[in-house]
Amino acid sequence: MQDVVNPHKANGVPYTKIYKNHIKDKFHISYSCFNEWIGIPAKRQLEKLLAEKEQQKKIEKAQLRLFED
């Protein structure tokens, strides 16, 4: 959703208009829910999740090596 919002916000469009014109009918959420979602730092959370997943893969590889001998 932030990919939809950010270009409009960069052009100075208020959140109320972005919600009304681009979010409401596409995502079927309330304006208050929209405001909550906009406040979530999605890119940072995605990077964190990807880093955690990569770390888990490293741990699993290390555990498998213990059983190779």
User: What is the domain partition of the chain in residue ranges?
Assistant: 1-38, 41-69
d(CA 32, CA 18): 13
pLDDT value for 62: 84
d(CA 18, CA 7): 10
Cα 42 → chain centroid: 3
pLDDT above 80: residue 66: no
Q: For the segment 13-58, what is each residue's pLDDT rounded down to a tens digit?
A: 999 999 999 999 999 999 999 998 888 887 788 889 999 999 999 9
pLDDT value for 42: 75
pLDDT value for 69: 59
